[in-house]
């Protein structure tokens, strides 16, 4: 049975025209206010053109909100969303220091608990504030088992301060502190395997996601929101400025990172691998590297270029093997099926966004 009162209420809320003259006229709302999604992160923020992090944060808050509060580490996200006295956030949000987002979130969670409120606490950090500087605060938060969802926006370097290497920067990428040149072909060391470290805390849920697969990302956020305990999500978020690719290629580059195996999309529960997004057609790593200026030296005449390319290819192959990323035929949850759209947003064949279960 249709609940007329609720229907009228929804119409008012979303500004649709009433079905009959007797119904109440829609309230005056701007089209922006009438968007059928939660606007946790508003326009007017100062992110660069094509910013992957701005997109990732919006996607997360959109499906986590509105009953959330956020502790944010220092970084691009903090800077570009809150140019005093303005704020792009429409949820309670706090910034303290670079290293303590997890600690501040722990305190916020404890306070909510003391007040008997169910507001979920989120902690946001970049890869610098998570892999490096905020790492011990994060480990402590997980160990104390706070009911917090920690989201790391991984753009693989300190972008806010001008592209310095972090422990998340991939091998062979050039940054201002790991420049490619006579001595080295970009960063000498490997990208830190943070997921395994986090999973070793034996927490309920650890996952990786990518801005190129928003439905998959939001499914993971919704799952994490339902967990009473610590959860960790790392979102691969390209930075056109730091990765030196065209601003329109943000999604394309992020998708290729997943499709070549360098950034596997996986889920771990209590430390055990439970879900992966299979790759329908595995791409060569070069497809991912080519559009990015930070890997341009790998396509130069330098004799070491081929070796480093092969090294990155071997790392991707290793991920594919370890996580079992090779797809079998057409799977609605693989990289091809997860991207598929149809008229009115639906994929042509039943794609519920659920990844394959690992038995």
Partner 1 sequence: MTILTRGAYGEPGTSLAFKTGNWRSTERPVHIHAKAPCHAACPAGEDQQAWFAKLQEGKAEEAWRVLVAANPMPGVTGRVCPHPCESACNRAALDGALAIHNVERWLGDEAVKHGWAYPVDAPAADAPTVAIIGAGPGGLSAAYHAVRNGLRATIYEAGPEAGGLLRSAIPRTRLPREALDAELERLCALPGIDVRFRQRLGRDVSVEELRAEHAAVLLAPGCQEGWEWSVSGAVPADHHEGLALLKEFMDHGQFPSARRVIVHGGGNTAIDLCRLLKRSGVEEVTLVTASALPGPDTDPADVINVVPRELEEALEEEVAVIEHATVNRLVMRGSRITGAEIVSLKKVPGPGGRKKRVSFEGTERVVEVDMVIPCIGERVDPEGLNGLVKRGYLRPDDAWGTLGEKLYALGDARGDRGTVAEAIGDGARVIGAITARLAGAEPLADGRAEMPASGLNPTYYERLPKAKAPKLPIEDRTFDTEIEGDIGGTATMAEAQRCLSCGDCLACDNCWTFCPDNAVIKTVELARDGSHYLFDLDFCKGCGLCAAECPTGYIQMQPEFAVETA
Helix axes 101-114, 135-143, angle to 10 degrees: 30
Residues 165-204, one symbol each (x = binds partner 1 by CB under 8 A, - = not), give ----------------------------------------
**Rounded Cα gap, residues 293 and 253, in angstroms:** 12
Binding flag, residue 86, partner 1 (CB under 8 A)? yes
Binding flag, residue 65, partner 1 (CB under 8 A)? no
Min CB(352)–partner 1 separation in Å:
14
Among 44, 114, 352, 359, binds partner 1 (CB under 8 A): 44
Binding flag, residue 101, partner 1 (CB under 8 A)? no
Provide the b/e sequence for 188-219 (b: ≥16 CB within 10 Å). eeebbebbebbbebebbbbbbbbbbbbbbbbb
Residues 204-233, one symbol each (x = binds partner 1 by CB under 8 A, - = not), give -------x--x-------------------
Binding flag, residue 79, partner 1 (CB under 8 A)? no
Order of strands, edge to edge, in the sheet holding 272-276?
Answer: 93-95, 68-72, 120-126, 148-154, 231-236, 205-210, 266-269, 272-276, 356-357
- Provide φ and ψ at 275, rounded to 5°: -150, 140
Please tell me the total number of residues recorded for the chain in this structure: 359
Which among 292, 314, 208 has a CA at the least distance from the CA of 258?
208
> Which residue number, 54 or 305, has a Cβ lying nearer to partner 1?
54
Stretch that binds partner 1, among 113-121, 168-176, 202-210, 343-351 (CB under 8 A): 343-351
- Using CB under 8 A, which residues numbered 247 to 276 contact partner 1? 247-252, 255
Quick check: 156 and 227 in contact, CB under 8 A?
no
Q: Interface residues with partner 1 (CB under 8 A)?
A: 17, 31-32, 34-36, 39, 41-52, 54-55, 58-59, 81-91, 211, 214, 240, 246-252, 255, 330, 336-337, 339-345, 347-349
């Amino acid at each position: 049975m249709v609940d007329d009162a609720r229907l009228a209420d929804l119409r008012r809320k979303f500004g649709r025209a009433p079905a009959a003259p007797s119904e109440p006229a829609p309230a005056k709302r701007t089209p922006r206010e009438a968007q059928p999604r939660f606007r946790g992160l508003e326009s007017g923020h100062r992110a660069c053109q094509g910013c992957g992090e701005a997109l990732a944060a919006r996607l997360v808050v959109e499906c986590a909100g509105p009953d959330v509060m956020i502790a944010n580490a220092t970084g691009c996200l903090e800077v570009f969303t809150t140019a005093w006295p303005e704020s792009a956030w429409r949820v309670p949000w706090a910034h303290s220091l670079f290293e303590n987002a997890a600690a501040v979130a722990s305190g916020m969670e404890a306070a909510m608990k003391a007040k008997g409120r169910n507001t979920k606490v989120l902690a946001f950090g970049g890869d610098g504030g998570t892999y490096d500087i905020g790492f011990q605060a994060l480990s402590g938060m997980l160990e104390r088992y706070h009911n917090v969802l920690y989201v790391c926006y991984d753009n693989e370097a300190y972008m806010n301060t001008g592209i310095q290497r972090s422990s998340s920067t991939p091998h062979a990428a050039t940054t201002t502190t790991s420049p490619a040149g006579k001595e080295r072909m970009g960063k000498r060391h490997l990208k830190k395997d943070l997921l395994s470290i986090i999973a070793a805390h034996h927490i309920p849920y650890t996952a990786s996601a990518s801005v190129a697969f928003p439905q998959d990302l939001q499914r993971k956020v919704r799952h994490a929101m339902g967990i009473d305990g610590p959860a960790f999500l790392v979102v691969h978020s390209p930075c056109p400025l730091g990765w030196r690719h065209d601003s329109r290629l943000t999604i394309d580059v992020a998708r290729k990172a997943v499709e070549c195996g360098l950034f596997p999309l996986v889920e771990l529960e209590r430390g055990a691998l439970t879900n992966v997004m299979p790759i329908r057609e595995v791409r060569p790593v070069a497809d991912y590297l080519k559009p990015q200026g930070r890997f341009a030296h790998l396509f130069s005449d330098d004799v070491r270029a081929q070796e480093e390319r092969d090294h990155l290819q071997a790392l991707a192959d290793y991920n594919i093997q370890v996580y079992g990323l090779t797809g079998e035929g057409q799977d609605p949850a693989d990289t091809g099926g997860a991207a598929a759209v149809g008229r009115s947003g639906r994929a042509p064949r039943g794609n519920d966004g659920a990844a394959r279960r690992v038995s």
